[in-house]
Each structure stands twice: as C-alpha cells, then as structure tokens.
Amino acid sequence: MNISLVIPLYNEAESLPELCTWIKRVMDDHAYSYEIILIDDGSNDGSWEVIEDLKKENAAITGIQFRRNYGKSAALNVGFEAAQGEVVITMDADLQDSPDEIPVLYRRIQEEKLDLISGWKKKRYDPITKTIPTKLFNAVTRKMSGINNLHDFNCGLKAYRKEVVKSIEVYGEMHRYIPVIAKWAGFKRIEEQVVEHRARKYGTTKFGFSRFINGFLDLLSIFFVGKFSKRPMHFFGTLGVLSFLAGFGITVWLIADKLIDISKGLAYRNVTDQPLFYIALVAIIVGFQLFLTGFIAELVSRNSPERNHYQIGKRI
C-alpha cells in the first residue's frame, strides 16, 4: 500500500463527506493504493454516523471511535498503530488542510529518502490571538530541539516514512512536537514543505488558551525525557552537587570570615545571625534532595522493562 491517511477528528460531521470525496479524487488521479483512517475522538455531533455511511461508499475508509474525548495525540497514536502504508500522512478533518498537497509529500518522502516532512502554513487564516503564540512556541521549540529548519511544528499536515510512526509514541498533547520526538528517536532527515492553509468552512475551532501552558510543559517533558530518560542521575545529580557545593562554600566562607575577625580582635557576627547562612542551608538541603531524586530515578530507570530498549536503524 502506498499511502495511509491518518485523520483525527472531533465534531467534524459537516466536513467529512467533502474531505473524503476530495481525497478519493486525488488518489484516483494518481493511481495510489491507499487507506483513510478516521479516528473519531468522542464526537457528539453525529460524526460517527457519517463515517459509517462513508465506509459503505468507499472500502478504503477505516473508522475508529473513542468512547470519550481523549485528545488529538491519543487519536494520532491509535492511527499510527493501525497504518499500513509505506508513507503515512496526517491531516486535520476541518478542510483547512488541502488533500492536493498529498502527491508532493509522498513524492518527496520516497525520492528524497526523508523520514518526516512537516507542513508550513506560511499564509494563515487564523486570528492573531492564535498566530502570535504559535510563532513564539515555534521559536522556542527550534531553540530547544535544534531543529532549525522548521517554521511550524504544530501543522497537522505531515508526512512520515512508515518506520517513523511505528517507532514513536505520542501521548498527552505531544502531537505538537512530533518532529522533536522523531529526532530523539534517531530520525534526523526532517524537512519542511510550504502548504496551503484554507479558511475554516464548517464548525468552530477547538483552540483554547490552556494549550499555551500545556504546550510549554509538554516541550519541557520531551526535552527532559529525550535527553535524560536513561541517565536521570546526570541531570538531578549535577544540579544537586552544584547546589550542595554552593551552600557548603558559602557556609565555609562565613565561618572563615568570623574566625579571621576573631583573630584580629575585631567585632564579629555569629554565623547563625547572618541571612546568608540560611540561604546556604537551604542550598545544601535542596542539593541533598536533588541528589536523592536522581538516585531514586536511576533505580526506577534501571528496573524499567525498557531500560535496554534502543532504536535500531538497520541490521545486516
């Protein structure tokens, strides 16, 4: 099979018939073998009934229904597990992504031997309250991930080599950072494709302010797990040692300063009368706690069933 289209959706009953008809036309024009995997993320507007009707018209359609709303990441993860195509393409169900982009994405993955192509909606039809935070998050993500050639990490229109989606796990709200997850998994041939962004034709956006905070926290999680998941002591232990040494050094300096004043017959203050002593004490305690956190995390990591699970690219 050439292409698997993974399409998560929530309350998109109006757009589904037009979207599936459009996809079928593109696929037939290029003689692709394909499947359309529609993941209904707990819709309550009759989207599942629409999927059942579409399935009767097009056998290439597969429908998966969640009992409740779990989020886009969960829908993508389930879709990735079900996908069988050589190239897996994800897109949103609201018709803001154009199926006409599919052939060029498929061609680039195959001809350029890429792992992942992320769409870039260079011209957007979203309100400024969405575009400005998006640009900020993209800039921060580029800086933290080192993937400097992507402008839009959160674009729903992406193409993957099959091996990529079978090697990564998407959970929480990590769908925004799939290129980062793929990079940490060892897939580094990541490129960008300028794609058309269409104005929403049906329904309303599911974008909310909470996604700003959640997105930032997820980015920190990806950065930590990707860099220190198999060696947490290197992270917590380093911070703990630095904090302990800072507190210990301040304490030694305060004691030495007092002893010098005594030896010179000068007036002196007790070490415990100085505010700096309590800052040093807190630093020592925090250092111990961080070190113990790293030690416990190391024990948990070493007893994990995936402690020796590594991404293997090729074997001969």
β 158-161/34-40 pair status: unpaired
pLDDT tens per residue across span 234-246:
888 899 999 999 9
Task: Write the pLDDT tens digit of every residue in 29-70.
Answer: 999 999 999 999 999 999 999 999 999 999 999 999 999 999
Say which DSSP state 41 is in.
-
Rounded Cα distance, 181 and 150, in Å: 14
The pLDDT tens digits for 111-143 are 999 999 999 988 776 666 666 777 887 888 888
Q: How would DSSP label each residue in 114-132? A: -SEEEEE-SS--S-HHHHH
Q: What is the radius of gyration, based on Cα positions, of the chain?
A: 26
Residue (of 195, 174, 13) closest to 91 by Cα position: 195
CATH of domain 3-228: 3.90.550.10
Instruction: Count CB-CB contacts under 10 A for residue 26.
Output: 18
Q: How far is it, in rounded angstroms, from Cα 49 to Cα 12?
A: 11
Distance CA 187, CA 176 (A): 17
Highest mean pLDDT among 15-24, 229-238, 303-312: 15-24
In whole angstroms, what is the distance from residue 162 CA to residue 89 CA? 10
Cα–Cα distance for residue pair 178/154, rounded to 1 Å: 8
In this model, does residue 261 exceed pLDDT 90?
A: no
C-alpha–C-alpha distance, residues 132 and 136, integer Å: 6
CA 62, CA 37: separation in Å to the nearest integer? 5
H-type alpha helices, the chain? 16-30, 47-57, 72-82, 102-111, 128-145, 162-165, 178-184, 210-228, 232-263, 275-302
| Closest-CA residue to 201 (of 24, 4, 22, 36) | 22
Residues paired with 90 in a beta bridge: 6, 158
Residue with tokens 């030694």: 252
Q: How far apart are CA 261 and CA 254, in angstroms?
A: 11
The model's confidence at residue 307, banded by pLDDT at 50, 70 and 90, is low
Look at residue 107 and tell me whether its pLDDT is greater than 70: yes
pLDDT computed for residue 104 by the predictor: 96
What is the C-alpha separation between 164 and 162, in angstroms, rounded?
Answer: 5
Q: What confidence score (pLDDT) does residue 93 get? A: 93
Residue 4, SS3? strand
> Going by DSSP bridges, is the β-strand pair 3-9/34-40 parallel, antiparallel, or unpaired?
parallel
Q: What are phi and psi of 160, to 5 degrees?
A: -135, 145
Parse the chain into domains and list their residue ranges. Answer: 3-228, 232-302
C-beta separation of 251 from 259 below 8 A? no
Interval 240-259 mean pLDDT: 93
pLDDT digits (tens, 9 = 90+) for 165-179: 999 988 877 888 899
Instruction: Judge contact between 88 and 4, C-beta under 8 A.
Output: yes
Rounded CA separation 165/107 (Å): 18
Q: How high is the pLDDT of residue 288?
A: 92
CB count in 10 Å sphere of residue 167: 19
Inform me whether the pLDDT recorded for 208 exceeds 60. Answer: no
